[in-house]
Amino acid sequence: MSRKKQPLKTGEKVLFGVAGAFVAFAVIGFVAIEIVASRSEKPLFEIKTHAELTPLGHKGELLFRKRGCTECHRALRNGTNVGGRGSDLDGEGSRRSLDWIYAFLRHPEKTYGAPTLDHGAPPKAASWVAELPEEELRAIATFLSELKAEQGSTVAPLPPEANSPFLRFMSRVMAPDWWKQKYRNVLEEMQGKEQEK
């Protein structure tokens, strides 16, 4: 019994060719990125958050994980981002003071300035946080206040230093009035400071 090999049809050639090209590009791209990444001094993604933990901060870091804050939050590569609003706590110490963080953990609803979702009185899901012993909350608050973000990080309070006339124009002209009344325009404030220099 002999079966003759059938030659490929044109459509099949095109199909296999396209699929092959995709694979080839993926391999070339992967290799290229690996080569670039391994050669360059700079990391592929710059990390713009950092932490210098004091002994009390270290204690707080352990508690942060042990007590289960990481079920909703993320800090120093531990935990989750799924919590939504406020879930990424890297850089928290550049946004909030130690006193604010402690006050929030103890009295979330009074401190937050907006309705809270999970922190607060029972039956909110993180109501247990405010009940933690004094020394644990102090340690955790200290830990969070030691998480810093450099300017330009997505979690920093200020945008990158780069002077962008386009962004300034857009934020001045395109932003609706209600928005301007409700929020501070940090771009304008930065420009003001630069002119004073």
**Binding flag, residue 119, ligand HEC (CB under 6 A):** yes
Whether residue 51 contacts residue 76, with contact meaning beta carbons closer than 8 Å, is answered with yes
Cis upstream peptide for 123 (omega within 30°): yes
57: contact with ligand HEC by CB under 6 A = no
| Binding residue for ligand HEC, selected from 69, 130, 147, 149, defined by CB under 6 A | 69
Contact 160, 48 (CB under 8 A): no
* Cα first-last separation, the chain: 91
> Residue 117, interface with ligand HEC (CB under 6 A)?
yes
147 in contact with ligand HEC (CB under 6 A): no
Span 89-108, contacts to ligand HEC by CB under 6 A: 92, 95-96, 101, 104-105
Q: What count of Cα atoms within 13 Å lies in the side-chain half-sphere of residue 165?
A: 0
Q: State yes or no: residue 73 binds ligand HEC (CB under 6 A).
A: yes
Closest approach, Cβ 70 to ligand HEC, in A, equals: 8
| 158-181 b/e (C-beta count within 10 Å ≥ 16 → b) | ebeeeeeeeeeeebeeeeeeeeee
- 59 near ligand HEC, judged by CB under 6 A: no
Q: Is 139 in the site for ligand HEC (CB under 6 A)?
A: no
Binding site for ligand HEC (CB under 6 A): 64, 67-69, 71-73, 83, 85-86, 92, 95-96, 101, 104-105, 112, 116-119, 125-126, 129, 140, 144
